[in-house]
C-alpha cells in the first residue's frame, strides 16, 4: 500500500477503503489522495478495482470500511441531503459516455444545469450549445439523439456534460477506451484543456498509457485492490516497481499474472 | 444436491427479495410526496402508460363483455336470460373482469416496457450518471411512473368498464335479440356505485404494482442484454401474479360483509 500527500490541501482523500463482492475482495485497505487542482490518473489492469473505487467516492457503492473525504468532509457519514450537495461538486465522463438515449444531445449536456442547478431550460440550452462548441461539436449536433452519434462524438458529448456545471472535481472512467488513436488523442487534449480551464481536480482511471502520460500530473497504480505505487508523471518510467514496469511496458511476463487457462 | 440446502436457499432468496422489494416500494412511495416533482415526466408517463394502453384495454373489455354475454346466455335458463345477462355482465365487468383483465393487459405492456427501459439504463450506467448529475434516480425515474400508473389505471379501467358493458349490450341486442331498452334499464337498475368504485380502487392498486415491479426489476437488472430480458420477464410474471393475488385479498375485504 502506498499513499502520497504532496500538499495538505487535499480535494479527495481515501483511507483504508475496503470492499468485497461475495468472496472476491475488490478494494483492499486502499488509500489514495488527490491534491486540489491536480490531475491524478490511476492505472491498472481489468478487474483491479479502479471503477469500484470511483463508484465508492461517488456513493454509488458503499464500502465495508474505510474513510472517504471530499474537501475534508467524510462522505460516508453524510446525510442524503448533504450527499446531494457534495455530488454537485462532481462531473463524470463514463466509459461508454452513458448518455440518456431518450433525450437529445443538448438536453444531455444541460441535464445537470436543469435538474441539479434548477436553471431555466432556455438558459441551460444556451450553455449546453456553448459547451458543445468547446468540445468541437456544432450547435446542430445538439438536436440529434445519442444513438445518431459515433463513439468519438458520444465521448465528446459526455465530456461536455461532465464540464457543463463547471464542477470542482471531474472523474474520467476509461476516457479513450474503444476509440481510434487519433480520436483518443483529441479526447485527451480536450480533457487537459477542460480541466485546466476550470481549474478542476481530476481523477481518471485508465489502462491506456498514452492517455495517462498526457492527462496526468500524478500517476498511481492499483493492483488487486491496493495502491502499489504513486508518483509524478515523469517518474513513471523509473518507478523502480516491477509491477509498474511490467504494466507500462505491456509485458506478459512479470509479477502480474493473468488468470488465463493455458493449453 | 442436498435437498435441505436447496430449501434453505429458496427460503433465504424469497425473504431477501421480499425485503428488498419492500424497501424499494417504501423509497418509491416516500419520494412521491417530497419535492422536487418532475411534472413534465409525469405528464409524459401518463401519455405512455395511459393513453397508449387505451386501445388494448378497450378491445379486451369489448370482447370480454361480448363473450360474457354469450356464455351466460348459453349456460342459463334462456327463457329468463335477458335480465340475468345484463346484470351479470355489468357486475362481472365492473367488479372483476374490467380491473383484472385491464390490469393484466397493462402489466404485459407497461411493466415490461418499464423494466426494459430502466434495465437498459442500469446496464449502460445511465442510472449512475443520473446520480453523478445530482439527480435522485428514484425521483426522476420511479416516481413519475408510479404516479402515472396509479392515476391512469382507474381511468383506463373506467373506460374499459363502459366498453365492456357496451360489448355485452351489442352481443345481447344484435346476436341474442334482447330488447335494447330493457337491457339498458336492467343494467342501470342493478349496477351500484360501490360496484364501480371497488373496481377503480383495485385498479389503482394494480397500477402501483405494475409500476413498482417494472421499476424494481429494471433497477436491479444486471448482466447485459440477457439480464434486461430476464428483468422484463420477471416484471410481467411478478406483477401479473401480484395483481391476481391482491385482487383476491381486495375482493374478500370489499365484499365479505
Angle among Cα B115, B117, B120 to the nearest 5 degrees reads 100
CA distance A42 to A31: 12
Residues in Cβ contact with A96 at an 8 Å cutoff, skipping those fewer than 6 apart:
A154, A178, B124, B125
Identify all chain A residues contacting B224, using CB atoms and an 8 Å cutoff.
Answer: none
Give per-residue pLDDT as tens, A42-61. Answer: 998 888 888 899 999 998 89
Q: Assess whether pLDDT exceeds 80 at residue A259.
A: no
pTM for the model stands at 0.87
DSSP, res A208: -
Best A100, A110, A168 member to test B by mutation, with max B CBs in 10 Å, is A100
- Determine if residue A253 is left, alpha or beta; phi over 0 gives left, psi from -120 to 50 gives alpha, anything else beta: beta
CB contacts < 8 A (A, B):
53
Cell 491536480 sits on residue: A38
Best B113, B124, B132 member to test A by mutation, with max A CBs in 10 Å, is B132
Best A58, A92, A119 member to test B by mutation, with max B CBs in 10 Å, is A92
Give per-residue pLDDT as tens, B168-214. Answer: 999 999 999 899 999 999 999 989 999 999 999 999 999 999 999 99
CA distance B61 to A41: 61
**Is-contact A158 A137, C-beta < 8 A?**
no
DSSP, res B185: H
Give per-residue pLDDT as tens, A115-162. Answer: 888 899 999 999 999 999 988 899 999 999 999 999 889 999 999 999
Q: Assess whether pLDDT exceeds 60 at residue A263.
A: no
Best A70, A111, A146, A165 member to test B by mutation, with max B CBs in 10 Å, is A111
Q: Does the beta carbon of A98 lie under 8 angstroms from any beta carbon of chain B?
A: yes
Question: A121-125 long-range contacts, Cβ below 8 Å, gap at least 24?
Answer: none
pLDDT tier, A176 (very low <50, low <70, confident <90, very high otherwise): confident
Identify all chain B residues contacting A161, using CB atoms and an 8 Å cutoff.
Answer: 133
**Is-contact A25 A18, C-beta < 8 A?**
yes
Give per-residue pLDDT as tens, B9-54. Answer: 999 999 998 999 999 999 999 999 888 889 999 999 999 999 999 9
CA distance B194 to B143: 29
CA distance B28 to B118: 14
Q: CA distances (Å), B82 to each of A53, A190, B61, B170, in order?
A: 72, 78, 20, 13
Judged by DSSP in three states, A117 sits in coil
Domain edges within chain B: 37-255
pLDDT tier, A262 (very low <50, low <70, confident <90, very high otherwise): low
Kindly list the strands in the beta sheet with A218-223, ordered across the sheet, starting from the edge strand earlier in the chain.
A90-93, A169-173, A201-206, A39-43, A218-223, A226-232
Give per-residue pLDDT as tens, A14-36. Answer: 999 999 998 899 999 999 999 99
* Cβ-defined contact of B131 to A58 (cutoff 8 Å): yes
Identify all chain B residues contacting A92, using CB atoms and an 8 Å cutoff.
Answer: 129, 132
Q: What is the pLDDT of residue A3?
A: 47
Q: Does the beta carbon of A175 lie under 8 angstroms from any beta carbon of chain B?
A: no
Give per-residue pLDDT as tens, B93-151. Answer: 999 999 999 999 999 999 999 999 999 999 999 999 999 998 999 999 999 999 999 99
- Determine if residue B9 is left, alpha or beta; phi over 0 gives left, psi from -120 to 50 gives alpha, anything else beta: alpha
Q: What is the pLDDT of residue B122?
A: 94
pLDDT winner (highest mean) among A204-213, B159-168, B180-189: B159-168
Q: Assess whether pLDDT exceeds 80 at residue A240.
A: yes
Q: What is the pLDDT of residue A1?
A: 38
* Cβ-defined contact of B135 to A111 (cutoff 8 Å): yes
User: What are A43's strand-pairing partners?
Assistant: A206, A221
Angle among Cα A114, A76, A215 to the nearest 5 degrees reads 65
User: How many Å is the Cα radius of gyration of chain A?
Assistant: 19
Q: What is the pLDDT of residue B55?
A: 95
* Cβ-defined contact of A90 to B132 (cutoff 8 Å): yes
What is the chain A residue with the closest CA to B139? A115
Q: Assess whether pLDDT exceeds 50 at residue A2.
A: no
Q: Does the beta carbon of A193 lie under 8 angstroms from any beta carbon of chain B?
A: no
Classify residue A67 as exposed, middle or buried by CB count within 10 Å of its CB (0-12, 13-18, 19+): middle
User: What are A19's strand-pairing partners?
Assistant: A27
Q: Does the beta carbon of A2 lie under 8 angstroms from any beta carbon of chain B?
A: no
Averaged pLDDT score across all residues of chain A: 88
* Cβ-defined contact of B129 to A92 (cutoff 8 Å): yes
What is the chain A residue with the closest CA to B129? A98
- Pick the range with the lowest mean pLDDT from B72-81, B153-162, B175-184: B72-81
* Cβ-defined contact of A98 to B126 (cutoff 8 Å): yes
Identify all chain B residues contacting A112, using CB atoms and an 8 Å cutoff.
Answer: 133-135
CA distance A229 to B158: 67
CA distance B143 to chain A (A): 15
* Cβ-defined contact of A115 to B124 (cutoff 8 Å): no
Amino acid at each position: 500500500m502506498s499513499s502520497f500527500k504532496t500538499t495538505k490541501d487535499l480535494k479527495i482523500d481515501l483511507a483504508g477503503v475496503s470492499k468485497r463482492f461475495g468472496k472476491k475482495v475488490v478494494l483492499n485497505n486502499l488509500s489514495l489522495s488527490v491534491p486540489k487542482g491536480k490531475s491524478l490518473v490511476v492505472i491498472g489492469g481489468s478487474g483491479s478495482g479502479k471503477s469500484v473505487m470511483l463508484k465508492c467516492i461517488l456513493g454509488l457503492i458503499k464500502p465495508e470500511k474505510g474513510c472517504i473525504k471530499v474537501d475534508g468532509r467524510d462522505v460516508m457519514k453524510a446525510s442524503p441531503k448533504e450527499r446531494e450537495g457534495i455530488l454537485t461538486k462532481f462531473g463524470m465522463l463514463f466509459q461508454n459516455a452513458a448518455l440518456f438515449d431518450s433525450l437529445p444531445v443538448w438536453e444531455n449536456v444541460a441535464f445537470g444545469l436543469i435538474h441539479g442547478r434548477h436553471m431555466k431550460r432556455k438558459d441551460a440550452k444556451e450553455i449546453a450549445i456553448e459547451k458543445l462548441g468547446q468540445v468541437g461539436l456544432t450547435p446542430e449536433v445538439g438536436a440529434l439523439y445519442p444513438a445518431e452519434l459515433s463513439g468519438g462524438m458520444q465521448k465528446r458529448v459526455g465530456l461536455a456534460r461532465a464540464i457543463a456545471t463547471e464542477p470542482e472535481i471531474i472523474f474520467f472512467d476509461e476516457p479513450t477506451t474503444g476509440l481510434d488513436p487519433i480520436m483518443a488523442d483529441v479526447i485527451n487534449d480536450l480533457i487537459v484543456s477542460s480541466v485546466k480551464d476550470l481549474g478542476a481536480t481530476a481523477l481518471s482511471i485508465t489502462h491506456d498509457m498514452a492517455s495517462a502520460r498526457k492527462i496526468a500530473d500524478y500517476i498511481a497504480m492499483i493492483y488487486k485492490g491496493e495502491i502499489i505505487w504513486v508518483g509524478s508523471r515523469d517518474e513513471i518510467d523509473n518507478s523502480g516497481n516491477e509491477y509498474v514496469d511490467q504494466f507500462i511496458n505491456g509485458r506478459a511476463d512479470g509479477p502480474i499474472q493473468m488468470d488465463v487457462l493455458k493449453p | 444436491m442436498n435437498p435441505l440446502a436447496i430449501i434453505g436457499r429458496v427460503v433465504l432468496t424469497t425473504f431477501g427479495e421480499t425485503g428488498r422489494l419492500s424497501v424499494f416500494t417504501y423509497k418509491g412511495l416516500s419520494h412521491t410526496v417530497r419535492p422536487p416533482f418532475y411534472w413534465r415526466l409525469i405528464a409524459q408517463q401518463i401519455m405512455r402508460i395511459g393513453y397508449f394502453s387505451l386501445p388494448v384495454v378497450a378491445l379486451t373489455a369489448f370482447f370480454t363483455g361480448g363473450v360474457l354475454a354469450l356464455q351466460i346466455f348459453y349456460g342459463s335458463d334462456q327463457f329468463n336470460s335477458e335480465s340475468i345477462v345484463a346484470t351479470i355482465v355489468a357486475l362481472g365487468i365492473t367488479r372483476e373482469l374490467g380491473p383484472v383483465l385491464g390490469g393484466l393487459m397493462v402489466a404485459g405492456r407497461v411493466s415490461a416496457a418499464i423494466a426494459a427501459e430502466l434495465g437498459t439504463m442500469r446496464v449502460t450506467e445511465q442510472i449512475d450518471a443520473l446520480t453523478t448529475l445530482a439527480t435522485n434516480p428514484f425521483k426522476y425515474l420511479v416516481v413519475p411512473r408510479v404516479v402515472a400508473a396509479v392515476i391512469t389505471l382507474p381511468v383506463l379501467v373506467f373506460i374499459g368498464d363502459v366498453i365492456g358493458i357496451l360489448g355485452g349490450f351489442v352481443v345481447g341486442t344484435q346476436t341474442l335479440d334482447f330488447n335494447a331498452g330493457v337491457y339498458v334499464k336492467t343494467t342501470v337498475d342493478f349496477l351500484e356505485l360501490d360496484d364501480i368504485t371497488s373496481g377503480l380502487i383495485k385498479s389503482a392498486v394494480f397500477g402501483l404494482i405494475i409500476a413498482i415491479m417494472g421499476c424494481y426489476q429494471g433497477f436491479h437488472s444486471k448482466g447485459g442484454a440477457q439480464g434486461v430480458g430476464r428483468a422484463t420477464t420477471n416484471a410481467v410474471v411478478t406483477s401479473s401474479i401480484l395483481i391476481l393475488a391482491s385482487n383476491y385479498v381486495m375482493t374478500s375485504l370489499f365484499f365479505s360483509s
